[in-house]
Amino acid sequence: MSTHENPSSASPPSPALPAAAPSIHRRRTRYAGKNPQRFQDKYKEHNPERYAADVAKVIASGKTPAGTHRPILVAEILTVLALQPGESAVDCTLGFGGHAQELFARLAPGGRLIGLDVDPVEHAKTTARLRADGWSEEAFTAVRSNFAGLPKVLQQLGLDGVDAILADLGVSSMQLDDPVRGFTFKTDCPLDLRLNPTRAPSAADWLASVTVKALTTALTDNSDEPHAVLLARAITTQQSQTPFTRTLQLARAIRTILHEHNPRHDNATDDACIRRVFQAIRIEVNDEFGALDMFLRHLPSCLKAGGRVAILTFHSGEDRRVKQAFREGVRSGIYASTNDDLVRAGPEERRANPRSVSAKLRWAVRASG
């Protein structure tokens, strides 16, 4: 009998595996010039972990890296809030998390920080980043909410009050710089201006139905615009003929209106006016003053006895409301004290971060009784 296997009983040969597809090297999208100018092209600033040295150079030059935000008046806020380990605090405007990181460090061990933000885009990004840094659910609670809803948030969390509250009312650099959000007139993008892009109306929708009177009031009350009447009449007239849907479209219209009124207007004057118009519309679209008024009305009930609150404002309408609420609170005995003199960024911070120039810090301490 042959010692060789019967070929008919041998296992069939294994089929040949398909060759692996060669990996395709994708080159980074090229941009014109030495350095990228568009927000989406600034790949180094969007990857600070990989390009730390380059990001440091951007910060050292007094600029804010794309997609980030630099917290303002940090040392002054920490002094006012005087946090202690084991206490509870709320950052009502979480943003990029710069202030939150400083608060969190002083609440440990045993403390708790609650982070609110109305922006679903940035709130999700920041929460994910902080969780990746090891922030536990017990120590850090992330809630997507406007700060006007703070009483409801605390009630849902089973808290009668907290030891400290911070509210930074400024629009974040992430929102201002990203053209997709429609806050900038430096590039052509949809005229949106919503802090919460899922909530109507957008700026374009609001302009589509605004009256001359309503727009005049918004420009006057929200940004102290000296040309409020002129701009309101001209913008609404043009809106009825060609709806404004893009940021550059509105910016160019404002420039034309100003130059027809006064041919000697220069670009710097025009830009300042355009910023005021965009600010006024943004405040209306997001009902920012309505939210602030509700927040200030319910704020004392959200603080424990002796609790501290610090609020950063960035224009006169906000600051006036905060100042009046705190001073009235002291007169009525709700607050034990508040600051009469504004706290502003010092020369060094203003040089390092130009966006701190308009910041104003007011604080109050809840009465113990």
pTM of the complete model: 0.80
What tokens appear for 134 in the block?
């090891």
3-state secondary structure the chain: CCCCCCHHHCCCCCCCCCCCCCCCCCCCCCCCCCCCCCHHHCCCCCCCCCCHHHHHHHHHCCCCCCCCCCCCCHHHHHHHHCCCCCCEEEECCCCCCHHHHHHHHHHCCCCEEEEEECCHHHHHHHHHHHHHCCCCCCCEEEEECCHHHHHHHHHHCCCCCEEEEEEECCCCHHHHHCHHHCCCCCCCCECCCCCCCCCCCCHHHHHHHCCHHHHHHHHHHHHCCCCHHHHHHHHHHHHHHCCCCEHHHHHHHHHHHHHHHCCCCCHHHHHHHHHHHHHHHHHHHCCHHHHHHHHHHHHHHHEEEEEEEEEEECCHHHHHHHHHHHHHHHHHCCEEEECCCCECCCHHHHHHCHHHCCCEEEEEEECCC
Q: To which residue do tokens 């595996």 refer?
A: 17
Asked if residue 151 has a cis previous peptide bond (ω within 30° of 0), the answer is no
Strand partners, 312: 168, 361
Whether domain 197-285 has CATH 1.10.150: the reply is yes
Instruction: Give residue limits of the domains in the chain.
Output: 74-173+289-366, 197-285
Total count of residues recorded for the chain: 369
Instruction: Give the C-alpha separation, 321 to 135, whole Å.
Output: 34
Q: Do domains 74-173+289-366 and 197-285 have the same CATH topology?
A: no
Bin 62: left if φ > 0, else alpha if -120 < ψ < 50, else beta.
left
| Token pair listed for 294 | 């509700």
pLDDT tens by residue, 117-173:
998 888 999 999 999 999 999 999 999 999 999 999 999 999 999 999 999 997 776
Strand 140-144: give its sheet, edge to edge.
140-144, 112-117, 88-91, 162-168, 303-313, 360-366, 335-338
Instruction: Please list, residue by residue across 177-211, b when 16 or more beta carbons sit within 10 angstroms of its beta carbon and e when fewer do.
Output: bbbebbbbbbeebbbbbbbebeeeebbbbbbeebe
pLDDT tens over the chain, length 369 residues: 433 334 334 444 444 545 555 556 566 556 555 565 555 444 444 555 555 555 445 545 545 554 455 899 999 999 999 999 999 999 999 988 999 999 999 999 999 999 999 988 889 999 999 999 999 999 999 999 999 999 999 999 999 999 999 999 977 766 677 777 777 888 899 999 998 888 889 999 999 999 999 999 999 999 999 999 999 999 999 999 999 999 999 999 999 999 999 888 788 889 999 999 999 999 999 999 999 999 999 999 999 999 999 999 998 999 999 999 999 999 999 999 999 999 999 999 999 888 899 999 999 999 997
Query: Is the domain defined by 74-173+289-366 classed in CATH 3.40.50.300?
Result: no
Q: Mind listing the pLDDT tens digit for each residue in 198-238?
A: 888 999 999 999 999 999 999 999 999 999 999 999 999 99
